[in-house]
Amino acid sequence: MALLQINLAGLPHRAGSALAIVVGVTCSVGVLVSMLAMGAGSRQQELGNVRADRVVISSVGGRGIAGNITRDELAAVQGLPYIRRSSTGEPIVVPEAIVPQQGRRRGTGVRIFFPLIGVGGEIGADEPELHVTAGRIFRQGLHELAASAPCARQFTGFDVGDHRSIRGTDWTIVGHFEEGKSQVCIVYADVDTLMSAFGRNSYQRISLTLKSPADFAAVRAAIRTDPSLHLEVQSEREATEEDFKPLNGLLNFVSYFLGGIMAIAATFGSVNSLYSIVDSRRRELATLRAIGFRSATVIATTLFESILLALPGAFLGSALAWALFEGMSVSPFGYSFHLVVTPSLAALGVVWALAMGLIGGLLPAVHAGRASVATALRAA
Amino acid sequence: MRFLPLVWSGIWRKPGRTVLIFLQATVAFALFGVLQGLKAGVDNAVAEARADLLLVHGRSGLFSFPLPVSLLTQIQALPGVKFADPVELFGGIYQNPSQKIGIVAVRPDPGWLSTFTFQVAPQYAEALRKTRTGTLIRTHLAKKYGWTIGDRIPLQTNLAQKSGSTDWAFDVVGTYTDSDVGGGNDTILVNYDYVDEARATDTGTVQHINVAVTDPKIADAVAGEIDRQFANSPNETETSSLRDLAQQQVQSIGDLNFLIHAIVGTVFLAVLFATATMLMQSTRERTPELAILKALGFSACTVSLLILAEAIFIFCAAALGGLALATLVFPFAARFVHGISLPGVTVAIGLAFGALAACVSAALPAVHAARLRVATALAAQ
C-alpha cells in the first residue's frame, strides 16, 4: 500500500505520460460505448412495445410484404380458442395488408419507403400502446390515413389534413399517433379499403392478442397441425428479433470491431507511457528493492497503477458518449433510432478499460520488477 | 542527405519506444484504411451499377402492385430499348424455414441476359429455355445444398398453384452467377411462363420489367419516355436505372460519412496525444546530445528539423504499414461490402495525414530543441 502511495505521489511529475494513457483509454471506451449505444437504442426501440400475449402470424416462406394469407385462413384463426375478446365481444385479431409506399425526407428530399398498413378488426384493443396525438384514427370504408408521429417529424406530406395520392385516389391524413417508444414511420388505413384499392385478396400478416401468454404453445400447435393453414406462428418478441437480427448483428460486429482496434492502439500507447514512467523511476524502484521490497510487490503495484490510470479513461469515455450522443437520433442504415447509453454499457466500458490497463501494464511492470538493483543505481 | 545517419540514430535511440509509437500509429492508419476502403467500396458499387439497365415498377411502390405483362410489347417497341424482360419474384423455403430461397421468374428468350446482371453459360441458358420446369441455381447454392444438374428440388412457397398447393418443384438445368451485390445470394432462376400459367392468382402480371437500353447515355430519356407512355393509365409506371437505385440506397446510409470521420478523428486524437508526450519526453532526455550538436555548429533550425524528420519518418512508415495491414483485412471485409478497395488517392491522403500528424506531434519538441541554450543544457549535465 505504501508503495502504491509512492507510485501515485510521483504521478504529477509525469503528468504527460499519465495523461496520454487517460486520453487513449477515453477515446477507445468512448467509441466503443457510443457504437454499442446505437445497438442498445435500436433494441430498446424494437422491443419496447413487445407484449408477451401478442402473437404474429405470417405465411410460410413469405414474411413481411411477401406474405400471402387468405381470407379462409383468417377466418380459421379468428375461430381459434385462447384468443382474448374485446369489450365488444369480438376476438382480438387484426389482419394486416402491407404496401410499401414512397415518401420524401424533410430537408434533404431523399426518397424513403414506409409501410402503409391496412388494418382490420380492433386495432385499439390489440395495441393498447397506441395513442392518438393529433386528429383522430381513420374511419372504416373511407380513404383516410393515420400516420405515426415520427412520419410527420421526418418526412414531408404527413401533416394532419395533407392529401396523398395512392393508386390514383385521394387519401387524407386524418390523425397522428404514437406507439410507445417506436420511432418508425408507419401509416394505418382501413384494411378493406386498402385491399380494394390495390385489387388484393390476401393479407400479409395477422396480429392477435391471447387470453394469457401461457396459451402461446397451444395456439402454435393448433395452427401447425391444421393441414389447411400454411401459417407460421411467432410470439411478437420472436418475430421482432428475427426482423432485426441482421441489423443488430451488423451493429454489434461493427461496434466490437472498431472498439477492439481502438483498444489495441490505446494499449500500445499506454505500454509506451508506462515504460517511460518506469524508466524515469528506475533509481527510485532500485532503491526500494535495495531496502527490502520484493520484486513481486513492485510488479503488483506497477500493474495496479496502470489499472488506476485506465479507470478515469473508462468513466470519461462513457460520460462523453453519454453527454454527446444520448438521445441523439441516427439513421446509419436508413432506419432511424435514438442512441441509448445504458448502465450496462458503461459497466462494459469499465471492464474494457480494466483489461487495457492490465494488458498494457504487464510488460512494464515485469520490467520494473526485474531491473537489476546494482545496475540501476550505478547507471544513475 | 548527409543528415540521414543522424535522423536514423535518433529514431533507434530507444528502439522499444519507437516500435511502440510505430505500432500504435500503424493500428490507427489500419483503421483509417479499412474505413476509407469501405467507403470506396460503397462508392464503387454505385459507379459500377449498370446505368443502362432500367427497372420498370408500378408507380404505387416498389413491390406492391403488379403490372400487366402486356406492357412488355409496348416498352419493347420504344426507340432506344434493346430488350425488355418480365420479372416475377417470390419466396420459398427448402426443407426447413431457415433455408430461404428467392425465386426469380424470367423469360429466357434470346437476348434476355442483356437485361440482367447475371452471367449464364450459353448451354445453361439454352437448357432453361427448353425446360419449362427448369431452374438455374446460384453456383454457391449447388455447394450449400449439394444440388446437381438433373436434381428436382421441392420448395414450399408463398405462391399458390391452380391446384391449391403452394409447393413447387423445379429441375436443375444449370448454374449462374450474379455481379450485382443486392438482391440476396440464395436465389434461383425459373421460367416466367411456366410460373404464370401454373399460379392461381395474378395471372398475366409481373412485379417489374427489366429494360436494357442501347446506350447508357439515353437511359434517362428512355426511362422518362416509358413513364410518359403509361401516365394517366391505370398502370402508371416508375422507371429508374440500377445506378439510380444504388445511389438512393447509399443516400439512405447518409450518416456513414459522419461515423467514419468521427471514429478516425478520435483514434488520431489519441495517437497524436500519446506521440506528442513521448516525443517531448525523448527530446528532454536528449537535451545534452542536442546541445552538443548545436555546439558543433548545427543551427537551431537544423536541430528542430532533425526532430521533425524523425517523427515524419515514423509516421509515414506507420501509414504505409497500416494501409498495407488494411488491405490484408479486405478479403474478410468484402463479405460485408463488395468491391472494397484502397484507391491510390486514399494512400496519398494517408501519407499526407501521416506527415501532418508528425508535424503536429513533433511541433513542441522541435521548438524545445530549437530554443535550447547550449551553455545551460551542457551545464545541467
Strand partners, A85: A91
Is pLDDT at A40 greater than 70 in this prediction?
yes
Neighbours of B257 (CB within 10 A): 11
SS (H, E, C) A38-103: HHHHHHHHHHCCCCCCEEEEEECCECHHHCCECHHHHHHHHCCCCECECCCCCECEEEEEEEEEEE
Q: What is the pLDDT, as a whole number, of residue B62?
A: 43
Nearest to A24 among B91, B97, B274 (CB): B274
Mutate to test the interface with B, among A268, A325, A362 (most CBs of B within 10 A): A268
Is pLDDT at B194 greater than 90 in this prediction?
yes
Which residues of chain B make contact with A101, given a CB cutoff of 8 A?
60-61, 64
**pLDDT-derived band at B255, boundaries 50, 70, 90:** low
| Chain-chain contact of A201 with B201 (C-beta, under 8 angstroms) | yes
ipTM of the complex: 0.73
| Chain-chain contact of B278 with A268 (C-beta, under 8 angstroms) | no
Q: What is the pLDDT, as a whole number, of residue A65?
A: 65
| Chain-chain contact of A262 with B336 (C-beta, under 8 angstroms) | no
Is pLDDT at A172 greater than 50 in this prediction?
yes
Cα–Cα distance, A199 to A208 (Å, whole number): 25
**pLDDT-derived band at A46, boundaries 50, 70, 90:** confident
Q: What tens digit of pLDDT does each residue of A251-267 get?
A: 888 888 888 888 888 88
Q: What is the pLDDT, as a whole number, of residue B61?
A: 47
Q: What tens digit of pLDDT does each residue of B82-135 get?
A: 999 999 988 888 988 788 888 999 999 888 988 988 889 999 999 999 999 999
Average pLDDT of the residues in B183-208: 86
Mutate to test the interface with A, among B159, B278, B279, B330 (most CBs of A within 10 A): B278
Which residues of chain B make contact with A20, given a CB cutoff of 8 A?
273-274, 277-278
From A20, which residue of chain B is nearest by alpha-carbon distance? Answer: B274
Q: Where are the alpha helices (DSSP H) in chain A?
A: 2-9, 15-47, 71-78, 123-126, 149-154, 191-197, 216-225, 236-280, 282-290, 295-325, 343-370, 373-379
Average pLDDT of the residues in A324-348: 76
Q: What is the pLDDT, as a whole number, of residue A189?
A: 93
Q: What is the pLDDT, as a whole number, of residue B135?
A: 94
Which residues of chain B make contact with A250, given a CB cutoff of 8 A?
336
Nearest to A272 among B20, B236, B255 (CB): B20
Nearest to B263 among A31, A101, A112 (CB): A31
Average pLDDT score, chain A = 84
Does A226 or B185 have the greater pLDDT score? A226
| Chain-chain contact of A20 with B273 (C-beta, under 8 angstroms) | yes
Nearest-CA distance A275 → chain B (Å): 8
Q: Which stretch, A70-74, A275-279, B167-171, has highest mean pLDDT? A: B167-171
Cα–Cα distance, B49 to B45 (Å, whole number): 6
Question: What is the pTM (predicted TM-score) of this model?
Answer: 0.73
| Chain-chain contact of B267 with A262 (C-beta, under 8 angstroms) | yes
Beta carbons within 8 Å of A244's beta carbon, 6+ residues apart: A42, A43, A46
* Least trusted range by pLDDT, from A39-43, A164-168, B198-202: A164-168
Sign of CA dihedral B238, B239, B245, B248: negative
The CA–CA distances, whole Å, from B179 to B48, B185, B340 equal 10, 11, 14
Is pLDDT at A334 greater than 60 in this prediction?
no
Average pLDDT score, chain B = 84
Q: Which of B106, B274, B249 is nearest to B190 (CA)?
A: B106
Does A343 or A247 have the greater pLDDT score? A343
| Chain-chain contact of A276 with B20 (C-beta, under 8 angstroms) | no
Beta carbons within 8 Å of A348's beta carbon, 6+ residues apart: A32, A33, A36
* Least trusted range by pLDDT, from A79-83, A92-96, B177-181: B177-181
Sign of CA dihedral B10, B15, B17, B20: positive
Which residues of chain A make contact with B271, given a CB cutoff of 8 A?
265, 269
Q: What is the pLDDT, as a whole number, of residue B377?
A: 74
Average pLDDT of the residues in A163-176: 85
**pLDDT-derived band at A96, boundaries 50, 70, 90:** very high
Mutate to test the interface with A, among B267, B286, B361 (most CBs of A within 10 A): B267
Q: What tens digit of pLDDT does each residue of B290-336 get?
A: 888 888 888 888 888 888 999 999 999 999 999 998 888 877 776 66
